[in-house]
Amino acid sequence: MVDARQVAYLQALGVDVYVPRSAPPSPVVVARADEAARHPGSAANLDWDELRAAVAACQRCDLHATRTQTVFGVGNRQARWMFIGEAPGAEEDRQGEPFVGRAGQLLTAMIRALGLRREDVFIANLLKCRPPDNRDPKPSEAASCRGYLERQVALVNPTLVIAVGRIAAQNLLATETPIAKLRGKVHSFGAQAWPVVVTYHPAYLLRSPGEKRKSWQDLLYARQLFGRLEQESAGGGRA
């Protein structure tokens, strides 16, 4: 089975690739996805397939007109760790997967520093479509996607969420507090009050490599917090 990244590499080399079409979703999945794509509040009860279909069909904001494809998210659907970034960039828009460019390579390294593999965690973005010229998301765009993200977090039900970058952190936490003041603390997100730790975006770290030490401190704090949260829930299972 050839994945999206392999397809992109082969196409860049001028190699034609045959990708078999997946089976079409059932009429029930299509109907529920269409409803969720039209009405923000109706994503709360969707399963994974319905949610992915709703995101793919979404036209809630103007970004649908300029996207190549939606970027749903990737990783372990039962992950203990969930990483949430800002929005897809050009490469993510082309491949349909979050964090696949240079910043994505650094994020993968950060995940490995935690003793994890990329496939062990779930990675998603605040926005599911790329803003033109990689501009910051508009508040209305973030609001349009929030129901999808909340449902993703609920389906994964992680022990800990890592907000990657200022935009993601401020939107998740509904605050304008600078990222420097959000770091080193545990916050909460959503109806279930999932614990959230904030760190710098890998793209920022690539531009400001001197800040990588602070990001490592964030990861150490997150790992310590994760261990404590896991101990607290030991014996009771996951909700």
The pair of structure tokens assigned to 132 is 């033109």
**Tally of domains within the chain:** 1
- Write out the two tokens for 175: 């605050």
Q: Which helix (H) or strand (E) holds 74?
A: strand 74-75
Element (H, E) at 75: strand 74-75
Q: Residue 97 sits in a domain of what CATH number? A: 3.40.470.10
Q: Per-residue pLDDT tens for 21-65? A: 444 555 555 555 556 555 556 689 999 999 999 999 999 999 999
**Side chain identity at 119, as an amino acid letter?**
E
Q: Flag whether 199 is in a domain.
A: yes
CA distances from 35 to 59, 143, 149, 153 (A): 12, 17, 16, 20
Domain membership of residue 186 (yes or no) is yes
The DSSP letter of residue 120 is: G
For residue 238, being part of any structural domain is answered with: no
The DSSP bridge pattern shows strands 74-75 and 187-189 to be unpaired
Alpha carbon distance 58, 103 (integer Å): 26
Of the pLDDT bands very low, low, confident and very high (cuts 50, 70, 90), residue 16 is very low
Q: What is the DSSP letter of 67?
A: -
Give me the domain span that covers residue 54.
Answer: 4-233
**Helix, strand or coil, per DSSP, at residue 1:** coil
List 162's β-bridge partners, or say none.
83, 197
Q: Domain for residue 239, yes or no? A: no
Mean per-residue pLDDT, 226-239: 80
Where is pLDDT greater, at 20 or 230? 230
Distance (Å, whole) CA 120 – CA 109? 13
Nearest alpha-carbon partner for 130 in 197, 65, 181: 65
144 in any annotated domain: yes
pLDDT at 233: 84
Q: What is the pLDDT of residue 36?
A: 56
Of 129, 123, 30, the closest CA to residue 70 belongs to: 129
Q: pLDDT at position 38, please? A: 57
122 domain residue, yes or no: yes
Query: Are β-strands 194-199 and 160-164 bridged in parallel, bridged antiparallel, or unpaired?
Result: parallel
